[in-house]
Amino acid sequence: MNDIKILDAKTAGKIAAGEVIERPAGVLKELIENSIDSGATVINIDIEKAGKKLIRVNDNGRGIKAEDLPLALMRHSTSKIEHFEDLDNLHTFGFRGEALYSIAAISKLTINSCEENKKGAMLQAEGGKITDQAPAPAIKGTTVEVRDLFFNTPARLKFLKSDMVERSHLLSCAEDAAMANPQIAFNVRTDGNKIYSLTAQNEDEAGIRSRLCKIFGDNIAKSLLFIQDAQFGFKAFVSPLDGMSAARDRQFFFVNRRPVVCKLLQQALYKAYQPYREKDRHPCAVIFMELNAAAFDVNIHPQKKDIKFEDESAVFNFVCSKIGSTLLKNNTSTNIEITSKEKSPQENITAVPQIPPVPQEAKIFSAHNNPWQKESFSPKKETEKFAEFLNVATPKDEPSLAACDSEEPPLYNFGKKEEEKNQTQKQTVYPKNDKTDNVLEQESSCAPAWFKGPYTYIGQLQQSYLLFENPQGLILIDQHAAQERVYFEEYLNQMETSSVQRQPLMFPVSIPLAASKADAVLAWQDFLRDAGFEISRFSAGTLLVNSVPHLLKFKEEDIKDFIISFSDVIGNPAKSDRDFKYRMISTMACKKSIKAGEKLNKAQAEALLENMKKCKDALHCPHGRPTLITLEMKELSRKFGRS
């Protein structure tokens, strides 16, 4: 018997289908492209059970002749081209003749179609075999129903993600098509609920921006800068310099209306932003190009996601130059917010968490008794948008100047309750007297190795660093990093012990998101609830936040900023590792900690130092940066040339 065998048609068909259809979103993409190629001006999409039960696409396009319906399900059957040379003059999405064949091979398919002023026809197929043909109502256009996707390939069905994740991919597919084709009306429903009802728009700046507003929300879409040039049929909407995002997933590239993942275009985009872009900030962009069909090759990827340009250098330089010059022209100075001294302290305070037992001095950190007041201005951009979400390092070694003993970073077993801890011994701050003058003494029985008291508070440097004196020399504490560590460990402990206290909001906070983003966030609903956030869906593209973690006391803008930024970076919660959730918690702690430029008085500084004693790793913030350094007397003496 020969070792090499020819696969039977049924097996070969299922394998070939896998190259085109990876998940339900692949089916929807192919059906939408067929509808656009048919000249449709209205496309209606219905999805049930994340596409596994039903994907239905209805359009008012040209329709298919009754005698052509059986041919449409045959492999390599297409109305788009006849010869290979036709690819150089291709103006349609489809051309391989594999989409309907591949879909029919792994589903139960029904097609109803009718040309204008002609009789309608219906065809049914199951597992690639035609099971029925009959007349149908004479309604112009085509309706394709795909039911029980992957019913005969259970292995592929098994590896699909959760319904929420798959639905998010389906909506992303519909959003891509809607952005690329503003002249077409799109109506999208999932499980009977209306998600999008997008009316047809003109293909000018106003029309495209209106379509983007429906998908991204007004705040993002209206802030985008518009660029247009006749060369390469170039149109682009790009974020201003202060409107960049924490993730790359708001970058969309369309070549001849085809959504593509093109590294060349992405590199040109980043090159244009290079002089202005901060680390871990990413531009938002929607870029359209109209090229001669012979100027690029779309046939290099099984799903036509990638393309290759004939003159890559010219395209790269043009895109980079156009976006770069626009950014330079629109580059404006950062606004400076000057906070009045008369402003209420409560408006400028972020409270230090009360970790029991709390020293008497630490009570000043409560929201009702906080004397903090900004006495100088500090540059302030829009609320920080999760900037460090994806760049959280593991705790690092002690900096070279630090003379305190290095402690091994603790291991955090996120999601698992820790064993019962020994009751924390009561810690005290010694009262003021002639000898100590409000000195913080070291309690040898419970103080960590780095805590070498007594400490005397000297003052605040540049409203960013706290200066303490101890017998070894000078201690400098980064006030932001230190409080971030305190917040982080308290919040992480509450998460691990399922004891996060929620603060119900008097009025729910409305969060506008693209429907696909909203579904992605809701996929994390259980985790967010454990983290103190109660979130519900108000509409297809709007979420409501009903409660927040009591410890962090988010303001309304902080809530919006966090959820929007969170939606940019999340993946499948079932597959997300512990480090991702660790980074999320550390970022929330970062956002609510004291910032550089905020003034602290003596009692606040001493209370912060006392709270650091309770931390497992007080020497590093959650991002791995040092919280304090020690400059010993012998080092100072050496610097001054003393023996």
Domains (ranges, CATH) in the chain?
9-198 (3.30.565.10), 205-329 (3.30.230.10), 501-591 (3.30.1370.100)
- How far apart CA 563 and CA 385 sit, in angstroms, is 9
- How far apart CA 58 and CA 71 sit, in angstroms, is 20
- How far apart CA 409 and CA 496 sit, in angstroms, is 18
Answer whether 28's CB lies under 8 Å from 51's CB: yes
The model's confidence at residue 235, banded by pLDDT at 50, 70 and 90, is very high
The model's confidence at residue 79, banded by pLDDT at 50, 70 and 90, is low
Q: Which residues of 303-342 are buried (b: 16+ CB within 10 A; e: fewer)?
A: ebeebebeeeeebbebbbebbbebbeeeeeeeeeeebeee
Gyration radius of the chain over CA positions: 30
Q: What pLDDT sits at residue 345?
A: 39
* pTM tops 0.85: no
Q: What does DSSP assign to residue 383?
A: S
In DSSP terms, which residues pair with 549 in a beta bridge? 502
Is 559's pLDDT higher than 50?
yes
Is 142's pLDDT higher than 80?
yes
For 84, list phi and psi in degrees, rounded to 5.
Answer: -60, -35
Closest CA to 610 of 493, 458, 439: 439
Closest CA to 215 of 242, 252, 240, 268: 252
In DSSP terms, which residues pair with 236 in a beta bridge? 227, 287
In DSSP terms, which residues pair with 465 in a beta bridge? 461, 478
- How far apart CA 488 and CA 178 sit, in angstroms, is 42
Is 56's pLDDT higher than 90?
yes
Helix (H, G, I), strand (E, B) or coil at 42: strand
Q: Which stretch, 164-168, 187-191, 526-530, has highest mean pLDDT?
A: 187-191
- Work out the number of other CB atoms within 10 angstroms of the CB of residue 636: 12
Distances in whole angstroms, Cα of residue 2 to Cα of each of 5, 8, 11, 36: 7, 15, 19, 47
Answer whether 499's CB lies under 8 Å from 421's CB: no
Q: What pLDDT sits at residue 636?
A: 85
- How far apart CA 29 and CA 377 sit, in angstroms, is 52
Kindly state the percentage of the chain with pLDDT values over 90.
36
- How far apart CA 144 and CA 111 sit, in angstroms, is 5
- How far apart CA 460 and CA 594 sit, in angstroms, is 13
Q: Which H or E run includes 546?
A: strand 542-549
Kindly state the percentage of the chain with pLDDT values over 70.
73
Closest CA to 618 of 452, 372, 499: 452
Is 181's pLDDT higher than 80?
yes
Q: What pLDDT sits at residue 148?
A: 95
Answer whether 591's CB lies under 8 Å from 456's CB: no
Q: Which H or E run includes 146?
A: strand 141-147
Decide the pairing of beta strands 108-114 and 141-147. Answer: antiparallel
More confident residue, 546 or 340: 546
